[in-house]
A and B are shown apart, each in its own frame.
Chain A
Amino acid sequence: MITAGIDIGSITAKAALIEDNRLLGTRLQFTGYNAQKAGKAVLEELIAQTGVQREQIALVVSTGYGRNSVDFADKAITEITCHGAGAHFIDPETRFVIDVGGQDSKVIKIDAAGKVLDFAMNDKCAAGTGRFLEVMARAMEADLDDFGEISARAGNPASISSICTVFAESEVISLISKGETRENMIAGIHESVASRISAMARRVGVTEPVMMTGGVARNPGVVRALGKKLRVEIRVSPHAQLNGAIGAALLAARMQQAA
């Protein structure tokens, strides 16, 4: 039996196909302005890529902030539940998931079966999310993909005290004018993101092992800063951005089996 999971995030749309508890394929592309179109497109591309027939897909579960706009999905499930299921599938030892995406960051405590015990999400603010890093990369005229590597060379991370993305950007600009090195500034930006996330994680109470997912998990600078702040080892999911879609496909399979 084949099931599909579609995760419509604020920046990227993801799809995953699962067959008998095995990952068949995944796909990631930009969401654009039309979440409904993005959901359809990403699944069609994945079908073409894997050679699976549309009729073979028994059930589709959508997730992510655009989950309710995927009109062909059989059910919409929140990213909290999907990330729990996805992380458990990738590494069954996982007891805590930190997911940092484009406009959301969330922490999820799960039990040995991948079931959600408790969670917290960022409040109405882009600090501590991927969007914050994007804005900072623009201010630093650096490629976001190089952020992790650059920050590794920092001697003394700069302190970015503002929690507001807009104000933090002007703070960075004033640091530039004071001659602070890029390495230190980028490391400081990572620490700022890490402190927001660690505060949220502590609210729920961290249980190890911790897995990090979401687009920001691809940035080793944030992962390093976060691990230091929480004093835990952080395992980065090999499918960081696809965790929600994988979880959705697994939950679809579970629903199909139960039916």
Chain B
Amino acid sequence: MAENEKKHDPEKEKRKIQTVSRMKEIMTDYYIEAKGARENGRKVAWITSGGPVEPLIAMDVIPVYPENHGAMIGASKMGAQLCERAEEMGYSRDLCSYARADIGDAVAKTGPIGGLPEPDMLVCCNNICGTVLKWYETAARFFNVPLFILDTPFIHREFTDSARKYVLSQIYEYISFLETHCGRKMDYEHMEEVGRLSVEATQLWQSVLDTCAHKPAPMTAFDAFFHLALIVTLRGTQVTVDYYRQLLDELNDRIDRGIAMVPNEKYRLLWDNLPVWYRTRWLSDKFAGHDAALVADTYTSAWSGMLPDITGQTFLEAMSETYTKVYINISIDRMFDIVAGMIRKYDVDGMVMHSNRSCKPYSLGQYDLRQMIMDRLGVPTLIIEADMVDERSFSESQIDTRIDAFMETLKA
């Protein structure tokens, strides 16, 4: 097979999403602001990716996401080196690579942005995994800062009334925690305004993802992995709403002009689990080489799945359910319903599951889910084994063969 040529390709230029440059500006400003927080008398909170960020925004606290930073480390191919640093400190190689890379960088400060701005407080929500509890406890000791833990019960069947009350009572505790450590009261009107912006951004994000229901898709999941950053870190701000409106306009314009991300899109695939951050380009080229577009994924849509229903209740009240019902905090039957809905909506031909060595709650059950998808929906499904950040867990020739073989069966 021919080597990938890295020449200037006008065809490829045409397919580039222009809004990308705006994202880079926003993220740069955001990290500069967070890094200069102390000089400007502002507070920084570290928060888990599925944690309720809106109260922080309402209290003018800058949210910083170690997991987003972990993704940056992965994309910068610094994962193995920083994970090794944490392993030298005694952390097991079986521990999540986001946790290892961040812990390694908190000490070494040799990552892509020279270490995250240090936190004044920590907010940990276990709706995404149990690892974050111990990770944040370690960070609380290391930085000697207060830690708030929001415990969201796992949803086996329904979101019960007692669960609602349990989580809501913690949300009010969370607000008192912020009031104590910021030294002022929450402005509840402002909180609702932030909530309204969060809902608006989330709706826009869903609309962005929905453009891929169009054939051919104007972007792929590999683009969604990139554009996701703001809905994770800065939902509840005007800048995020404006950004997604701009992106949505561009994608709709691409649809009007017939610009596809994969030039000869023939096969439409659904991706499951986190991206392989250090191999997104390779995987994207690999699938495009088979005329296959990853038109949707369960990961980036998890944030639009958090869209709260605010009819008849305040945003804070709605948060209780929203943050408990995230994709990986639900039973496999509910996961199947979501996946089946996506398979129909985006009209996919096959599914690719990343069995992610780091993310146990996401990867556990994938074989059962795969069987359900194949038996009930007849959709061929491939599992590839890798890790989101630690490139030592990626075997190129094995994954290459699996993808080629899978595409051969789809084409046959």
Interface residues of A (CB under 8 A from B): 65, 68, 76-81, 115-121, 123-124, 203
Contacts and interface: CB of A to CB of B under 8 A. Distances in A.
B1 A121 contact: no
Given A118-B380, A119-B405, A121-B402, A81 B393 contact: no
B1 A76 contact: yes
Interface string B389-412: 000010101100110110011001
The 10 closest A-B pairs by CB, nearest first: A80-B405, A78-B405, A81-B408, A78-B404, A116-B409, A124-B395, A123-B385, A68-B1, A78-B401, A115-B412
Nearest to B393: A124
B282 to A, nearest CB: 14
Given A65-B397, A78-B404, 5 more contacts: A65-B401, A78-B405, A115-B409, A116-B412, A118-B409
Contact of B408 (A77, A118, A203): A77
A78 B397 contact: no
A81 B385 contact: no
A131 to B, nearest CB: 14
Contacts of A203: 367
Contacts of A68: 1
Chain B contact-residue range equals 10 to 19
A121 B405 CA distance: 11
B15 to A, nearest CB: 26
A116 B397 contact: no
Contacts of B412: 81, 115-116
B374 interface: yes
Contacts of A120: 383
Contacts of A78: 401, 404-405, 408
Given A121-B402, A124-B398, A80 B408 contact: yes
Contact of A124 (B374, B385, B409): B385
Contact of B401 (A121, A123, A124): A121
Contacts of A124: 385, 393, 395, 398
Interface of B: 1, 367, 374, 380, 383, 385, 393, 395, 397-398, 401-402, 404-405, 408-409, 412
B409 A81 contact: yes
A171 B401 CA distance: 32
Contacts of A116: 405, 408-409, 412
Contacts of B397: 65
- Find the residue from B367, B385, B401 having the highest chain A CB count within 10 A: B401
A77 B408 CA distance: 8
Contacts of B401: 65, 78-80, 121
A34 B89 CA distance: 40
Contacts of B402: 121
Nearest to A69: B1
A81 B1 contact: no
Nearest to B370: A203
B97 to A, nearest CB: 15
A73 to B, nearest CB: 10
A121 B404 contact: no
A256 to B, nearest CB: 17
A115 B410 CA distance: 11
A168 to B, nearest CB: 20
Nearest to B1: A68
A136 B409 CA distance: 35
Contacts of A80: 401, 405, 408-409
A80 B382 CA distance: 13
A163 B405 CA distance: 26
B90 to A, nearest CB: 22
A203 B408 CA distance: 20
Nearest to A78: B405
Nearest to B398: A124
A77 B412 CA distance: 12
A116 to B, nearest CB: 5
A7 B398 CA distance: 16
Nearest to A113: B412
A243 B362 CA distance: 37
Contacts of B404: 76-78
B81 to A, nearest CB: 20
Nearest to B355: A123
Contacts of A81: 405, 408-409, 412
Contacts of B385: 123-124
A162 B404 CA distance: 32
A123 B408 CA distance: 20
Contacts of A77: 404, 408
A104 to B, nearest CB: 8
- Find the residue from B380, B393, B397, B405 having the highest chain A CB count within 10 A: B405
Nearest to B402: A121
15 contacts: A65-B401, A76-B404, A77-B404, A78-B408, A79-B401, A80-B401, A80-B408, A80-B409, A81-B409, A81-B412, A115-B412, A118-B409, A119-B405, A121-B398, A124-B398
Nearest to A80: B405
Contacts of A65: 397, 401
Nearest to A121: B402
Contacts of B380: 118
Contacts of B408: 77-78, 80-81, 116
Contacts of B398: 121, 123-124
Contacts of B1: 68, 76
A5 to B, nearest CB: 15
Contacts of B395: 124
B349 to A, nearest CB: 15
